[in-house]
Amino acid sequence: MDLDRPRAEELAAKCGSDVRVFENEQELIRHNDIDAVVITTPDETHAGMVMECLQKEKPIFCEKPLATTVEDARGIVEAEVELGRKVVQVGFMRRYDPQHLDVKSAIDSGDIGHPVLFKGAHRNAGALPGTSSESILVNSAIHDLDSARWMLGQEIEEVYVHGTNTGAAADGEVLDLQMIQLKLGGGCLANIEVYVNAGYGYEVDLEIVGDAGTIHVAPANTPQLRKQRYAGHSVEGDWLERFPAAYVLEMRRWTEDLHSGKLTGPDAWDGYISLLAVATCISSLQSGSKEPFKRPQRPELYE
C-alpha cells in the first residue's frame, strides 16, 4: 500500500502476478492473507498503525521511531505486554551493518578492554523540508542513542545537548548541528555530533575507546584512492547508499525469525527507551542544562 497508488502498482508488478495492492493501511492490516506488516511510512503515522497490527496480533516491522511521542511508545509497550509475547521489531538498521557488527564483536570479545567512550558523528547531506531542532532528535539522533546503548551494553543515565544554527541551514531558527553528551552506566560516556546539513554527503562515523585500545568503524565502503597528491575515498549520498547490506540483512533476519517464531531484533522496549532518551535530549536542548534520564522499570517480557 502506498498513498501513491501507481507507484505501489509498479512495484507490485515487479514482485509477481499474485501481489495485491491495497487501498489503505486498514484494509491491508485487516486482510486475512496478511501475516505480518512492514511500516515505512512517515514518522507520525507509525504508532497508530503499530497499535492496529497489535490488535490483530500481527507481527510488525516498524521503521524508527516507533512513535513520535513517549506516551504513544509507552502505549505500544503496554499493549504488547498485555498480549504476552513480542511481535514488534523496530528498524535500527545499524545493528545489522557489517561494519558496526565488526566493532561490536571486537568490544564483546574484550579486545579493547572495558569500553568507556562512544565517539559518534552522524551527518546528512541536507535537512529534509520541515526539519526542526526537535525532529532532528526524533528522526536522526535516535539512531545514535540506540547505537550507544547497543554498542556499550549500558543504559543512559544523563544527557546534555547543545545546538547551533549553521550557515548551511535554510531556516535561521533550526539548530541543525547538535552535540549530544551522554553519561551511561558502567562509567561509560558518549559524545555524538548530529549534523543534518553537512553538504558533502552522508556519513556515520564511530570510534569506541576502551581502557585497552580503541576500535573505529571502517572508514568507507569504497576503496582508498591515491593519485596526483590526493588520497581519499568517495562518500555516499544518503543512508540507502551507505547501508544497503544492513537493510537486506535486517529484513532477511526478521523473516527468518517470523518463521522460527522468536523475534531477535531491536524490540518495542528499545523503541520506547530510545524515544524517552530523545525526549530527555529535547528537554536539555530547551533548558540548556544536563538532564537525568529517568528509566522506567523493564517489564519481564523484555528481559
Q: How far is the CB of 278 from ligand ISE (least distance, A)?
A: 13
Pick one of 68, 89, 99, 139: the residue that binds ligand ISE (CB under 6 A). 139
Stretch that binds ligand ISE, among 3-11, 45-53, 135-143, 295-303 (CB under 6 A): 135-143
Asked if residue 124 binds ligand ISE (CB under 6 A), the reply is yes
Stretch that binds ligand ISE, among 2-10, 137-145, 173-181, 256-264 (CB under 6 A): 137-145
Strand 37-39 and strand 60-63: the pairing is: parallel
In the bound state with ligand ISE, the residue whose beta carbon lies nearer, of 139 and 154, is: 139
Pick one of 46, 86, 104, 143: the residue that binds ligand ISE (CB under 6 A). 143
Asked if residue 131 binds ligand ISE (CB under 6 A), the reply is no
Q: Cell 588520497: give the residue.
A: 231
Q: How far apart are CA 228 and CA 233, in angstroms?
A: 14
Asked if residue 178 binds ligand ISE (CB under 6 A), the reply is no
Q: How many residues bind ligand ISE (CB under 6 A)?
A: 6
Stretch that binds ligand ISE, among 15-23, 74-82, 136-144, 218-226 (CB under 6 A): 136-144
Neighbours of 261 (CB within 10 A): 8
Strand order in the sheet with 88-91: 37-39, 60-63, 88-91
Pick one of 89, 133, 140, 154: the residue that binds ligand ISE (CB under 6 A). 140
Site string for ligand ISE, 224-253 (x = CB under 6 A): ---------------x--------------
In the bound state with ligand ISE, the residue whose beta carbon lies nearer, of 46 and 122, is: 122
Q: How far is the CB of 258 from ligand ISE (least distance, A)?
A: 22
In the bound state with ligand ISE, the residue whose beta carbon lies nearer, of 43 and 158, is: 43
Residues forming contacts to ligand ISE in the complex (CB under 6 A) are 122, 124, 139-140, 143, 239
